[in-house]
Structures are given as structure tokens and as C-alpha cells.
Amino acid sequence: FVMKLLVLGSGAGGGSPQWNCNSEVSKAVREHKDGTSIRTQSSIAVSADDEKWFLFNASPDIGSQMLKNKQLHPKKEPRHSPISGVVLTNGDVDHVAGLLTLRERQNLTLYAHRRVHDVLGKNSIFNVLNPDYVEKKEMSMNKEFELEDKNFKKSGILVEAFEVPGKVALWLEDESKGENFGTQEGDTIGLKISSKENLKSFFYIPACAKITDELQSRINGSDLILFDGTLWKNDEMEQSKVGEKTGQRMGHINNSGVNGSMEMFKKIDVKRKIYIHINTTNPILLDYSEERKIVEENGWEVSYDGMEISL
Ligand code: MLT
Ligand code: MN
């Protein structure tokens, strides 16, 4: 078997179109203009055997995502799900709210950094994940391990998690804690996901505020990366008149500009580069935009819902 990666949701928090947004992209998508497509909220699924699937982040759109992708439909009667577990990269709403949909007597393993397990544990609504069925596992950083289902059956998927510059979840921001709102190491992580069979791997980093030297050397020489494509430029929300927050304020590096990801990646050897977690204000979402042309000229692809990659 080859490892398969399925993009369930290529959009950022809110998706595209976003419910209360009427800026250029959201509007065009809502009008089904040529060269647009609906992008649900941030999540991918990975399988090494075409049978058991692991979700990487569980978005609020998980219901429609599961419906749309037949790989995730129940295969046996009367109750079954191919979803064996979930791995979280942070505690943001777009990455954890889908857990509430995965309630009800279904065996799952839930992998996250201790920081994220802690905040979910403190929020009693997540008790719908019945501990008799849901095994919570804390991920150690910089240490590869194999994903397992609830019955300790190995998945053939190897994961190595590592901290990246980011921000504490929006709903946990604490202004009294100064400029970074109480952000600590581990609030945002990136993942290296590999097939145990052929050791082919890819990086999944849907949120990242800065490309550090450490991150550069980690990803240098890799075959594939799915990387934070949230914003085209840092002040895009303000310019689109939909908000005041900059990308940096939200824990996201922009695509363009001297400190943007396109420029930074020119120094890094990665064969295939794909933007994911793309905000509805980002013009690269439109197939016909000038910005889309620029990212493509710089060797980047823009992910879309339903995109499939075999490794
Ligand atoms: C983000 O990626 O910045 C967050 O998902 C924002 C949010 O929670 O809406
Ligand atoms: Mn997000």
C-alpha cells in the first residue's frame, strides 16, 4: 500500500466563503464564479492501508467533509467508522470543534501536545468524548512514533511532532499576559508524517508564524510540504476591511513579501510545496487572480477540498 493523503478542508478558520464575509473571494465563491471553489475548514486525513484513516485536525465542517469523502464512510454494519484517530496541531476552534461531532461510543485515539490536552480537559463540553472509547495520548516532541488505534493496532503511519512559532488559540488569549497573550511552546506544532512501509514522508504545518533556522534545516531536502497559506499579506484583513488583525498577530506568516513564505522557501530545498489553511481574504484562492499566478510561478500549489496525494 502507498500512504494516501486527502485534503478534507483547505480553508482557514471560517472557511471560504465565511458566513459573515462579503469580500471579493467569499462573494465570488458564493456566486459559483468560474475559477472558485468552496473551501471548508482546515483538516487532512491520512491512511497507510486504505482502511483506517487518521484525521489531522478535526474541523467544525467535519460532518460535510465525512459525507463528501467516501473513504470516511462506515463500511460495516451496524456501526463503524474508518476513522481510527485524530491528531491535533493546536487548540484553535477550526482544529478542535469537529471533535464534538465524533462523540458517541466510537473507539478513537486522540493525539495532541500536553498544552492542548490540558485545555480540552478543562473544557467540560469535550467530555462528550467518552474516555471508555477515546484514548488520549500526549505527543512528545521531536520523537517519532507510530499512530495506533484504540486497540493498540499499528497504523503504518509514523509521526514526528515539533514546536513551531505560533500563538495560543484565539479563545484562550489572555491580554493580561502581555504581547503574546500567554502563548507557550507547544501551542502550535508541525508534523512530519511518514509511511512505515516505504518511509516516504511529508510535512503538515497549517499554522506557523515564522520560518526559523531550525525549521529550515528540518524541512530542507524533503519531498512535500503542506504549509500555512493563511494570508497573502500581513495586513490583508485590514485592507479587505474585514478586521484589524495582522497575520503576525494571529500567528501566521504571509505568502508574499520579503519575510513571507515564498521568499523564505527560495532558500529551502523542498520538491513539492502546497499552501493549506487559506483564509477567505486571500486572493490566491481565485484561480484567475494575479496572486495565484505569482505563487504558481514561485513553485507553489494551492490546495483544494478533495485533493488527493499518494506517497
Ligand atoms: C487561526 O488559525 O488563526 C485561528 O483558527 C483563528 C480562529 O480561531 O478563528
Ligand atoms: Mn486556524
Kindly state the percentage of the chain with pLDDT values over 90.
99
The band of 99, judged by pLDDT with boundaries at 50, 70 and 90, is: very high
pLDDT digits 0-9 by tens, 173-201: 999 999 999 999 999 999 999 999 999 99
Q: Is the peptide bond before 17 cis (omega within 30 degrees of 0)?
A: yes
pLDDT, residue 104, reads: 84
Say whether pLDDT at 132 is over 90: yes
∠ at Cα 305 (301, 306), nearest 5°? 100
Say whether pLDDT at 56 is over 90: yes
* Ligand nearest to the backbone CA of 18: 1
Beta-sheet pairing, 222-228 with 201-205: parallel
The band of 44, judged by pLDDT with boundaries at 50, 70 and 90, is: very high
Whose alpha carbon is nearest atom 3 of ligand 1?
Answer: 250
Mean residue pLDDT across the chain: 97
Whose alpha carbon is nearest atom 6 of ligand 1?
Answer: 13
pTM for the full predicted model: 0.98
Residues 209-214 have a mean pLDDT of 97
**Greatest CA separation for the chain:** 55
pLDDT, residue 38, reads: 98
Say whether pLDDT at 248 is over 90: yes
Atom from ligand 1 closest to the CA of residue 95:
5
Q: Are 133 and 107 in contact (CB under 8 A)?
A: yes
Q: Which of 250, 254, 275, 281 to mutate to test the pocket of ligand 1 (most atoms within 8 A of CB)?
A: 250
